[in-house]
Chain A
Amino acid sequence: MIENQSIYLALSVVLFIIGAAGAVCRRNAIVVFMCIEIMLGGVCIAFVTFSRAHQSLDGIFMVLFVMAVAAAEAAVGLAIFVLMYRKHGSIDLDKFNLLKW
């Protein structure tokens, strides 16, 4: 146990839910992408909190790998957005329903 542990965990939950709500509500693909980054940030705070509480480094490595995956995701995702914009002239997610149902 570390001091203020419940506040750190509450903060991570709040950030995760804010990110998820933004990903649900917004239609702009880039804003949805940033909301996913907020969700990742919330999860990372939980990882680091548990890592500190248990005196272990595993959570910190998990955050390192999350950062690397987020960087790769940003590169590929933004390339996809550029392609979407080039094809349709917009990145409004409600207009893209080819794979929805």
Chain B
Amino acid sequence: MELVFLLICGGLAVISSLLVIFARSTLHSALWMVFSFFMVAVIYVLLHAQFLAMLQIIVYAGAIMMFIIFAIMMLNLRQEQDSKVNTRVSKVIGVAALIVLFLELMLVSLGHSLSAIQGPITDTLVATHGRVAVISNFLFADYLLPFEVVSILLTAGVIGAVVLAKRVK
């Protein structure tokens, strides 16, 4: 059952990601991107990371894609400007290098078995405490400093966006 869901949703994620590249209009690319994010969220659920799946939908499919679609609408792009995939020689070379990279990554990720080190987060621990409680216990203890640094990063991002987009007189 898990395998069926994985194959269907993984296949849909791959197809919609391809459609992001090959769609003619930028807006269609963005809408396929939303679909792809939803499929990745389903993959997270299959990996027992429900909290991440919710965040994926709220942050990516909600906030970031809203940003992007807003920018597309605001910029008033002409559709014929970028209607097809570019086929210059340098880009063909780039894609060939990527195919080599693909084969290497496949070889590494499928050819080797992982070490059998098992951490403390067993399924029974999660079942007794609840996943969000376990995550927050670790997030606000072991990962407190990175968490605070990320809040500074987000503030800096917002300020940077405002400063950049402000019209200079």
Contacts and interface: CB of A to CB of B under 8 A. Distances in A.
Interface in A52-83: 52-58, 60-61, 63-65, 67-76, 78-83
B110 to A, nearest CB: 5
Contact of B17 (A15, A33, A79, A92): A15
B31 to A, nearest CB: 11
B139 A28 contact: no
Contacts of A24: 91, 94-95, 98
Nearest to B93: A24
Give chain B's interface residue range (CB within 8 Å of chain A).
35 or more
A52 B49 CA distance: 8
B118 interface: yes
Interface in B99-129: 99, 101-102, 105-106, 109-110, 113-114, 116-122
Interface of B: 2-3, 6-7, 10, 13-14, 17-18, 20-21, 26, 29-30, 33, 36-37, 40, 43-44, 47-49, 51-52, 55-56, 59-60, 63-64, 67-68, 70-72, 74-75, 77, 81-82, 85-86, 91, 94-95, 98-99, 101-102, 105-106, 109-110, 113-114, 116-122, 134-135, 138-139, 143, 146, 150, 153-154, 156-158, 160-162, 164-165
5 contacts: A26-B82, A27-B86, A31-B21, A51-B49, A74-B64
